[in-house]
Amino acid sequence: METLSAVTESRSWPDGEVVEDLANLRQKVPLVHCLTNDVVNNFTANVLLAAGASPAMVVTIEEVEEFVRFAQALLINVGTITTSSAQAMLRAAAVAHETGTPWVLDPVAAGALKFRTGIVKELIGFQPTVIRGNASEILAVSGEAGNARGVDSTASSNEALDAAVGLASSIGTVVALSGEVDYVTDGTSIISIPGGHEIMTRVTGIGCTLGALIAAFLPVTPSPLRAATAASAVYAFAGEEAVKENRGTGSFAVAFLDLLSTIG
Amino acid sequence: METLSAVTESRSWPDGEVVEDLANLRQKVPLVHCLTNDVVNNFTANVLLAAGASPAMVVTIEEVEEFVRFAQALLINVGTITTSSAQAMLRAAAVAHETGTPWVLDPVAAGALKFRTGIVKELIGFQPTVIRGNASEILAVSGEAGNARGVDSTASSNEALDAAVGLASSIGTVVALSGEVDYVTDGTSIISIPGGHEIMTRVTGIGCTLGALIAAFLPVTPSPLRAATAASAVYAFAGEEAVKENRGTGSFAVAFLDLLSTIG
Amino acid sequence: METLSAVTESRSWPDGEVVEDLANLRQKVPLVHCLTNDVVNNFTANVLLAAGASPAMVVTIEEVEEFVRFAQALLINVGTITTSSAQAMLRAAAVAHETGTPWVLDPVAAGALKFRTGIVKELIGFQPTVIRGNASEILAVSGEAGNARGVDSTASSNEALDAAVGLASSIGTVVALSGEVDYVTDGTSIISIPGGHEIMTRVTGIGCTLGALIAAFLPVTPSPLRAATAASAVYAFAGEEAVKENRGTGSFAVAFLDLLSTIG
């Protein structure tokens, strides 16, 4: 409750800054280099295209360095990490760190599995601009005991808010905490983004693709806090609107992309 | 015809047991560990979420053992098997066998290609709880001469029913045979599940995701036979209903997910 | 402009030859072996099934040789190429060359990244029947300076038409050049395929799946030029029609598959 009282402000579409940021994204069409998981590759590309960005999945160790130098932003999502993709991710993160390319880390199921938890720790050494996760993942990454259960969170986002603030301030990043209400924090400000709908947890990759959209906003907004806020607010609005004529999870996902491609 | 006369019973939604099993699945939200193919990863996750289960694609050799111990059920589908995924599949199956975690084997295109046929044989050594396949695959796995043609079956399910019964009884598994009419057998009982629609063969992964749904039912039903029956009956009904307002294969797939997420 | 004046003819659905070719495809159900990228695997399979072909993604080095000998056509798309998939692609192309199996090369982002540019050069040594790409890719492959920017083209198709004609005639292939207007050339004839819609660039994989559809037409049409023309004309028509009741990129993709599955 102490932490909750510290929420600085609340933002939701059509907040003026968010509208401006989306217009800016559409005008600049940022190239977003995505190292993401096999389940959401297609949906991620379609979300970025719908919103107005340019996605590119360049994944092999021989190419990531070259492409990070070329892209405006990078997403690393460890959902279906493998022996070889882990090496490509570490290389990409190192280059992004060196070149100052803004990047988002999505530590899917960190804490629940040793191999990825170790890789995520190494990745964090390359200072992600934003870390996006659910409560269990943020608790795990911040060193608290998250009870991660696969990719779905078993802790609520309120419980993890303290951990998010601590993580953001200790490593100098922005944390985007997904849950019933989304929170975004840089360790000082805490912005809540209400909205969205429960059905968003029943379509695979809504969380993962939010990470990609945050990455797309990074090069076109004045701060990582604002980028994460804009992406979250656009998502929450699209989710709320898409559910209105919803007949189930299949048509919800279609309507969600329709909204992203026509909003603003 | 001899075998056909041995069909014990026929089940279709809203059969009382199937309705009860689906309600149970939704209440327990089983965590299903999926090692499936690159073509259907996304659709599989969305099918499981729509039906009420919790999918997790954890695929690398470093993590499968840990995650099988964590999950309530496992799916192994060899559709796009690779050198490295084959090793992860064998490891996962071995652990599932050791821990008694129920698991489904989907031997896509077994018989048609030597490498996967060999891996499938090894996997069967770890006693899958259910084997799901089309007629060609079941014929191939049972040692008969299936004329597999890639992933699509060239034999009818009636021809393969004898092989399915023999396979189920010889290795003590349940076989779910997909075709115009689906059959499920434990070597003694043979249950037919009528329904479905031809258009289901024109959307990729309808068969593969049935394997995943069978896996989801395994930990929440009294027997593998009942789990395979429930999943098949839910699928046949969703397919028949989804085709009603169908305008083509694209909207059919959307309506199919809608049905799965709202049925019951 | 000189090249443009050389356009031999223009084709669009329902051109008589195209209608005949699609009917032929549906009757013969060609088995298309696809080595394509992780982003579009699912969409590719659904496009081929909708159009009436039989897709099979058999990707591992242990199996590609066996399966190329079995398939009627092959697609190689280097979009998310990796160390190991590159080896499988080279093996598949070599076998297709040896057996005379018609095959399509989609050199995604060639010119922009060294590793794939080298592999693409090797692949071309195995004489693809058709090369499909956007302007940047065709310019890069033909040795001109394409300014590739990830997977999206920065050059217009008109600029690249000279390069396409030169490439087709120098290596004896058909080039399918995607852009606002599509062109298909064997180095002598240049066929323009008008139509389509800008929204097609905002759904991932519309270009990649066109490559797959060209592959499907190859074994059922009298010439590679005609196969590439038929696929392009079907695509342009489906895109134009699908956009009519369009509410955004999500429902466009659904309507596009619906059109492909019901046209003709």
Q: Beta strands C182-185 and A31-35: pairing type?
A: unpaired
**Number of B:C CB contacts under 8 A?**
103
Q: Which amino acid is at C123?
A: L
- Return all residues near A55 (Cβ < 8 A) that are at least 6 apart: A32, A34, A44, A45, A48, A49, A212, C151, C204
C204, pLDDT greater than 80: yes
A59, pLDDT greater than 90: yes
Distance CA A93, CA A152 (A): 25
Bigger pLDDT: B2 vs C105: C105
Q: Nearest 5°: phi and psi at B28?
A: -90, -20
Q: Beta strands A130-134 and A174-178: pairing type?
A: parallel
Place of tokens 């031999």: C8
Chains contacting A (3+ CB pairs below 8 angstroms): B, C
> Looking at residue A152, what DSSP letter applies?
B
Minimum-distance CB partner of C49 among B40, B113, B202: B202
Angle between the N-to-C axes of helices A249-262 and B41-51, in degrees from 0 to 180, rounded to the nearest 10: 120
Element (H, E) at B215: helix B206-217
Torsion angle of the four alpha carbons A128, A134, A136, A142, in this order, in degrees rounded to the nearest 10: 30
Cα A203 → chain centroid: 16
Instruction: List the single best residue of B63, B81, B260 to mutate versus A (max A Cβ within 10 A).
Output: B63
| Minimum CA–CA partner of A252 in chain C | C250
Distance CA A250, CA B51 (A): 12
**Chain B environment of C260 (Cβ under 8 Å):** 248-249
Q: Of A7-16, A88-97, C4-13, where does the model show the most confidence?
A: A88-97
**Chain B environment of C257 (Cβ under 8 Å):** 248-251, 253
A263, pLDDT greater than 90: yes
Q: Which domain holds residue B79?
A: 2-259
Q: Stretch A1-6: mean pLDDT, rounded? A: 55
Q: Which amino acid is at C152?
A: D
pLDDT band at C151 (very low <50, low <70, confident <90, very high): low
CB–CB contact B149 C54 (8 Å): yes
C134: tokens are 């956007």
Q: Which of B151, B147, B70, B66 is nearest to B106 (CA)?
A: B151
Q: Stretch A222-231: mean pLDDT, rounded? A: 98
- Has residue B183 been placed in a domain? yes
Structure confidence at residue C71 (pLDDT):
98
Cα A246 → chain centroid: 25
C183, pLDDT greater than 90: yes
**Chain A environment of B71 (Cβ under 8 Å):** 150
Distance CA C118, CA A102 (A): 29
Minimum-distance CB partner of C42 among B43, B151, B247: B43
Span of A121-125, C15-19, C124-128, C158-162 with lowest mean pLDDT: C158-162
Q: Is A73 left (phi over 0), alpha (psi -120 to 50) or beta?
A: beta
- Express the helix, strand and coil content of chain C in percent, nearest 5 each: 55, 15, 30
End-to-end alpha carbon distance in chain A: 35
CB–CB contact C50 B250 (8 Å): yes
Chains contacting B (3+ CB pairs below 8 angstroms): A, C
Minimum-distance CB partner of A61 among C83, C113, C150: C83
A72, pLDDT greater than 90: yes
- Has residue A264 been placed in a domain? no
Distance CA A243, CA A251 (A): 9
Structure confidence at residue A225 (pLDDT):
98
A148, pLDDT greater than 60: no
**Chain C environment of A86 (Cβ under 8 Å):** none
B147: tokens are 């004329």
- Has residue A261 been placed in a domain? no
- Has residue B22 been placed in a domain? yes
Structure confidence at residue B143 (pLDDT):
85
Whether the link from the prior residue into B219 is cis, omega within 30° of 0, is no
pLDDT band at C145 (very low <50, low <70, confident <90, very high): very low
Q: Tell me the residues of C at the B interface, defined by beta carbons under 8 Å apart.
A: 31, 38, 41-42, 45-46, 49-50, 54-63, 66-67, 70-71, 84, 253-262
Instruction: List the single best residue of A247, A252, A257 to mutate versus B (max B Cβ within 10 A).
Output: A247
Q: Beta strands A103-106 and B130-134: pairing type?
A: unpaired
Q: Tell me the residues of A at the B interface, defined by beta carbons under 8 Å apart.
A: 37-43, 79-84, 86, 109, 112-116, 149-152, 201-205, 247-251, 253-254
A132, pLDDT greater than 70: yes
Instruction: List the single best residue of C85, C137, C202 to mutate versus A (max A Cβ within 10 A).
Output: C202
| Minimum CA–CA partner of B49 in chain A | A202
* Ordered alpha helix ranges (H), A52-134: 61-68, 83-99, 114-124
Structure confidence at residue A152 (pLDDT):
61
Distance CA C217, CA C231 (A): 7
- If one counts the domains in chain B, the total is 1
Minimum-distance CB partner of C254 among B40, B82, B250: B250
Structure confidence at residue B100 (pLDDT):
98
* Ordered alpha helix ranges (H), A107-243: 114-124, 135-141, 157-171, 206-217, 224-242
Structure confidence at residue B9 (pLDDT):
93
pLDDT digits (tens, 9 = 90+) for C210-238: 999 999 999 999 999 999 999 999 999 99
Place of tokens 């592999």: C119
CB–CB contact C58 B39 (8 Å): no
Chains contacting C (3+ CB pairs below 8 angstroms): A, B
Q: Rounded to 5 degrees, what angle do the CA atoms B103, B105, B108 make?
A: 160
CB–CB contact A113 B67 (8 Å): yes
Mean pLDDT by 10 residues, chain B (264 residues): 69 95 98 98 98 98 98 98 98 98 98 96 97 96 63 66 94 95 95 93 96 98 98 96 91 97 94
CB–CB contact B70 A251 (8 Å): no
Q: Is C187 left (phi over 0), alpha (psi -120 to 50) or beta?
A: left
What order do you get walking across the sheet with C9-10 strand by strand?
C9-10, C190-193, C182-185, C174-178, C130-134, C103-106, C73-77, C31-35, C54-56
- Has residue A263 been placed in a domain? no
**Residue B252 to residues A21, B204, C48, C50: CA-CA distances in angstroms?**
36, 12, 16, 11
Neighbours of A163 (CB within 10 A): 22
Structure confidence at residue C159 (pLDDT):
73
- Has residue B28 been placed in a domain? yes
C147, pLDDT greater than 50: no
Q: Which amino acid is at A48?
A: L
| Minimum CA–CA partner of B71 in chain A | A150
| Minimum CA–CA partner of C148 in chain A | A70
- Has residue B264 been placed in a domain? no
ipTM of the complex: 0.94
CB–CB contact A150 B31 (8 Å): yes
Distance CA A168, CA B184 (A): 53
| Minimum CA–CA partner of C153 in chain A | A54
CB–CB contact B150 C66 (8 Å): no
- Has residue B129 been placed in a domain? yes
**Residue C43 to residues A34, A42, B179: CA-CA distances in angstroms?**
19, 8, 23
Report the CATH number that the domain containing residue A188 is assigned in CATH.
3.40.1190.20
pTM: 0.95
